[in-house]
């Protein structure tokens, strides 16, 4: 049984639709300057979190839940989808990967891991969510061989020419990047053999 299925089971799930827009096409003429990339919209609403009681148990995706990793439970989005979750009260944003199903509590749209919720500064709080699926990332690179899909220092999605970025470390997991990146670093996102990979980077010459 998924750990999210037994989270506060006394409340019934509501509203399982997810509003998804097709990723914006990348312009054929790539400029020297970064350009914005439009992620798909997901339903905004209340976030909650789960932690120690479920640490080490299997999630709906089959992965073991680690309360300190940057993961989340969502009712409908594909496993491995990257979510940009913003706290509208502070403007702070984080990235998490969908690894579980839930929440099954009225009016809540996402369950964050303890570590992710702590970093974002939320408990049961309103959040704004944008989504980037593994399929969207793969399709981007099939059509763009001279650019990277990246998240800016404030974690907004951009398209940047490969020559404009210097990598700072080897590709790794989202959790490792989120825990080790500095406030002025970019995050390159690319498809890998077992899901998406993430690389810390800076603008060339900086």
pLDDT (tens digit per residue) in 170-196: 999 999 999 999 999 999 999 999 899
Grade residue 23 by pLDDT with cuts at 50, 70 and 90: low
Identify the burial level of 196 via C-beta atoms within 10 angstroms of its C-beta, where 0-12 means exposed, 13-18 middle and 19 or more buried. Answer: buried
CATH 2.40.40.10 in the chain, residue ranges: 38-132
Q: Are 106 and 14 in contact (CB under 8 A)?
A: yes
How much is the pLDDT for 122? 96
Grade residue 106 by pLDDT with cuts at 50, 70 and 90: confident
Please name the fold of domain 38-132: Barwin-like endoglucanases (2.40.40)
Q: Is the pLDDT of residue 86 over 90?
A: yes
Q: Are 147 and 188 in contact (CB under 8 A)?
A: no
How much is the pLDDT for 206? 67
- Full-model pTM: 0.83
Q: Is the pLDDT of residue 33 over 70?
A: yes
What's the residue count for the chain? 206
Where residue 17 falls (left for φ over 0; alpha for ψ -120 to 50; beta otherwise) is beta
């Amino acid at each position: 049984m998924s750990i999210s299925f037994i989270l506060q089971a006394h409340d019934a799930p509501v509203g399982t639709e997810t509003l998804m827009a097709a990723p914006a096409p990348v312009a054929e003429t790539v400029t020297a300057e970064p350009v914005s990339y439009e992620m798909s919209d997901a339903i905004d609403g209340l976030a909650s979190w789960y932690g120690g009681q479920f640490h080490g148990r299997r999630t709906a995706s089959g992965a073991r839940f680690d309360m300190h990793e940057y993961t989340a439970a969502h009712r409908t989005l594909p496993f491995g989808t990257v979510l940009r979750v913003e706290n509208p009260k502070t403007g702070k944003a984080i990235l998490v990967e969908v690894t579980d199903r839930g929440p099954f509590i009225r009016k809540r749209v996402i369950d964050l891991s303890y570590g992710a919720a702590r970093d974002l500064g939320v408990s049961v709080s309103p959040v704004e969510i944008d989504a980037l699926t593994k399929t969207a990332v793969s399709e981007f690179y099939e059509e763009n061989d001279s650019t990277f899909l990246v998240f800016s220092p404030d974690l907004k999605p951009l398209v940047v020419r490969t020559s404009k970025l210097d990598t700072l470390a080897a590709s790794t997991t989202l959790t490792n990047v989120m825990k080790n990146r500095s406030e002025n670093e970019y995050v390159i996102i690319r498809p890998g053999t077992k899901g998406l990979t993430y690389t810390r980077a800076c603008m060339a010459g900086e």
